[in-house]
Structure formats: C-alpha cells, structure tokens
C-alpha cells in the first residue's frame, strides 16, 4: 500500500495519506486499513469475480472533499449508497458528511460483517442516522427512490459497473442522482448512462458526476393552459 501510494502521490504525500487513514480509523473505531480479496458466497448467482477489485479502504480526506462538492441541500436529503462498502470507511465518511440515510452494498459476507462491527461506535454517536448493510451483488441492487448519492471507490469494473451505471441512469422518479467516484478507472460507464461530469480531482484521483435529467416538455403556444 505504501509503495502504491508513494508512486501515485510522491513519497511525502503518499506517506501522509497513509498516516491520515490510520488516524481516521483510530479516531472513529474502525479497523479498515488492511486490503482484502473480495469473495462472494455460492448463492450469489450471476456474480462476476473477474469484475471485482481487491478491497482497500478509501482515503477519508479525499472522499470527504469529493462529497462536499455535492450541494448541501442534496446531501441533507439524499440516501448515500456505498457500492462495495468493504469494511465501512466510505460509509463512515458519508455519515460524517451529513447524510441522513446510508446503505452499504457488499457481496462478501466477511467484509459486510467487518463493516457492521466497524461502524458501531459511529452509530452510537449518530443515533438519528439510518444505516443498512445489504449483502448482495451490486449489479442486482435496486437503490431506493428519492435523492441519491452513489459512492464508489473502484469496487468493480466491466459488466458489473455498466449495470450499476445503467440502473442509476434509468431512474425516472425525477430526483437528483449524484455519483462520487474515487479512483475512477471505469469512469466512461457513466457518461454512457447520461451522467455529466461536474468536478474532477486529477491525476485521475476522483470524479463527481450528476445525472442529466431529460428536458421538460414545453407547452405549445396557444394550447390550453398557456
């Protein structure tokens, strides 16, 4: 982890990121530092192991910066869905960023159990926040209605990512949908699903996207109601 971070950010910045992650975990009662391979149970029909990416905890500072790029009015009303929530660090950042409802979607029962344990202290500190952890393949998850923020820390690629992006893009309830995508290796899936890029953290560290809503039909001049 140290070598990867140092290659991407430079030695000093990379080590600083690792110290920041360790400090965040210690402060909030998490054990989310070490990476882990993603393994599903046999009953997860259709799960594509080749699409999954090894779990690693997101940089909490970067994740918070990206989430704060979403309008405060959306954050205060939206459901925060962490796709591939792993051990729960992304959910912890979402909770601290002010989301009232959070859902972690994780195909690995082992990682989901670790996520549940990790977030106990934060749940006690934020009793008014609703938090749910769902154990299932992200491609099969149907997010709730209303304003939505989807959070991804490069959890999967390929057809799984295409299905998730397409499902988010096809929502027709008229509410805003934002995607906060850290380490966006598959960012091209979202423009194809009618998302517009609103902000980017380079070099390729993160991207913030908003779903493009269809234009409202206009009433022809002279028609009833004009």
Where along the chain do its domains lie?
A: 34-211
Q: Residue 10, exposed/middle/buried by CB under 10 A (0-12, 13-18, 19+)? A: exposed
Considering the entire predicted model, what is its pTM? 0.85
CATH no. for 34-211? 3.40.50.150
Residue 42: predicted pLDDT? 57
For 111-165, write each residue's pLDDT tens digit: 999 999 999 999 999 999 999 999 999 999 999 999 999 999 999 999 999 999 9
| pLDDT score, position 39 | 62
Q: Looking at residue 219, what is its pLDDT?
A: 42
CB atoms within 10 A of CB 51: 20
Cα gap 10→175, rounded to integer Å: 40
What is the three-class DSSP state of 187? Answer: helix
Q: Which residue has the higher pLDDT, 44 or 12?
A: 44
Predicted confidence (pLDDT) at residue 56 exceeds the cutoff of 90: no
């Amino acid at each position: 982890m140290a070598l990867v971070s140092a290659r991407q950010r430079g030695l000093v910045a990379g080590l600083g990121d690792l110290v920041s992650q360790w400090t965040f975990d210690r402060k909030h009662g998490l054990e989310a530092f070490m990476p882990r391979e993603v393994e599903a149970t046999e009953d997860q029909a259709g799960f594509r192991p080749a699409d999954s990416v090894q779990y690693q905890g997101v940089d909490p500072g970067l994740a918070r910066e990206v989430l704060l790029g979403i309008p405060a009015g959306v954050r205060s009303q939206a459901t925060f869905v962490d796709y591939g929530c792993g051990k729960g660090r992304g959910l912890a950042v979402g909770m601290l960023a002010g989301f009232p409802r959070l859902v972690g979607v994780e195909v690995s029962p082992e990682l989901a159990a670790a996520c549940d344990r990790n977030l106990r202290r934060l749940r006690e500190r934020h009793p008014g926040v609703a938090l749910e952890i769902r154990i299932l393949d992200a491609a099969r998850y149907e997010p709730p209605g209303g304003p939505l923020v989807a959070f991804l820390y490069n959890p999967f690629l390929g057809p799984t990512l295409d299905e998730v992006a397409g499902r988010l893009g096809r929502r027709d309830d008229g509410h805003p949908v934002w995607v906060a995508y850290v380490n966006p290796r598959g960012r091209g899936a979202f423009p194809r699903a009618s998302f517009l890029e609103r902000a980017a953290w380079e070099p390729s560290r993160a991207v913030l996207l908003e779903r493009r809503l269809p234009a409202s039909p206009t009433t022809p001049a002279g028609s009833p109601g004009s």
